[in-house]
Structure 1
Amino acid sequence: MASTSKASRLFELADQREYALCQSINRTIRFRPVKGYFQLVSRLGDGWFWYALILSIPFMAPAHGQNIAVLMAFTGLTCTISYKGLKHWLIRERPFISFPAINCATPPLDRYSFPSGHTLHAVCFQAMLFATLPALAWAILPFTLSVAASRVVLGLHYPSDVAAGALIGGLMGWTSVQLFGDLLQLSQTVAAG
């Protein structure tokens, strides 16, 4: 309980400091094309884009694609468990809840804000792709960056939620490939890439 109250006090201070930046980024949804684009990116980032990508990797990289896909699926599951646990332990309210001037442009998938699960997954998968299939990783990078930006643009997260999600996700993706790449014979893919 003591750590939760410390986290709550820290988040209250951070919320106040990030509010102005968060609100100014969120104002871009006044432009319909911006709002529509980031709503679409957010919806695809709910998992649909990543599921399709994971299912298609065995066809794009026949030599080791199935192993990469399996590793991405299991790492993605680990990401989900991790971010959900962190959100329920740390309990940071979303910006649009704490500050009515911030507009929520799409319904959130869960209640709490820290860290951004969308960003965590996107950066995790991005890191895994850079380690195993760099050409594909470069093609996916604009989508990953758009997912991260969408979280603040749509009023769902503070910039620090996105930064934390990116850091955690990047570490989880990189660590997964380092720990299990040899087991799944991905080291040859990395060397060939």
Structure 2
Amino acid sequence: MAIRRWVRNGDYYLFYYINRRLQCAFLDRVMPLFTLLGSAAFALFLALVTAMLGREQARTAGWQALFALSGSHLMVRFFKAWVGRCRPYLALPGTRYLDRPWQDYSFPSGHTAASFSLAIVFALNFPYLTWPLVTVAGITGISRMYVGMHYPTDVLGGATMGAFVAFLIHSWPW
């Protein structure tokens, strides 16, 4: 019980820090753009274009990305329904939200899962891109807290699920 309370308090503290204390005009413009990088439309577009138009290794990475996105999406849907966690802007007073309000559950972050699915699949196929891809995926996760849609544990859960499915898909014999 004490551990649960400790995690929840840390979750709230870190959420408020990112959502309110880091607030500035520059981040108000930039963070919603990073959020778009985890959207289904962007992720599917990037994976499809790579699968259809890429050269051999890129084409394989594109197909892996499509399967990783599908797998992580199914996992996210299952956990959202199972956990049923209310979004921060609905539960925490004073939360700023810059994105249009979502009505589904908070845990885990689907945008973060999608961005980590893509980042890990492409990083495993193109190791020289690892740091830039993982950095962008991490900022996408932070953006979800900044725009008021997710708690830090939602982002951590989404990142873990996305990376896990990406590793599984990449290790499948292609």
TM-score when normalising by structure 1: 0.77
Q: Structure 1's 127 and 59: CA in aligned 2 closer, same or farther, altered over 3 A?
A: same
Amino acid at match of 2:165: M
Once the two structures are superposed, residues 136-168 of structure 1 have per-residue CA deviations (whole angstroms, 9 ceiling, x without a partner) of: 444433321221110111111111111111111
Residue in structure 1 matched with residue 151 of structure 2 by the alignment: 158
Residue in structure 1 matched with residue 72 of structure 2 by the alignment: 79
Shift of residue 109, structure 1, vs aligned partner? 4.5
Segments of structure 1 that go 5 or more residues without pairing to the other structure are 1-9, 185-193
Aligned-CA RMSD value:
2.5
Residue in structure 2 matched with residue 187 of structure 1 by the alignment: none
1:177 and 2:170 aligned: yes
Task: Give the distance between the partners of 1:28 and 1:52, measured in 2 at CA.
Answer: 34
Amino acid at match of 2:154: D
Once the two structures are superposed, residues 153-184 of structure 1 have per-residue CA deviations (whole angstroms, 9 ceiling, x without a partner) of: 111111111111111111110011112xx2x2
Q: Paired residues, what number?
A: 173
Task: Give the distance between the partners of 1:109 and 1:124, measured in 2 at CA.
Answer: 22
1:26 and 2:30 aligned: no
Q: Structure 1's 53 and 45: CA in aligned 2 closer, same or farther, altered over 3 A?
A: same
Q: Is the 8 A contact 1:131 1:177 kept in 2?
A: yes
Task: Give the distance between the partners of 2:128 and 2:119, measured in 1 at CA.
Answer: 11
The secondary structure found in structure 1 opposite 2:37 is: helix
Shift of residue 34, structure 1, vs aligned partner? 0.4
Residue in structure 2 matched with residue 98 of structure 1 by the alignment: 91
Residue in structure 2 matched with residue 130 of structure 1 by the alignment: 123
TM-score when normalising by structure 2: 0.85
Task: Give the distance between the partners of 2:4 and 2:155, measured in 1 at CA.
Answer: 14
Q: Percent identity at matched positions?
A: 24
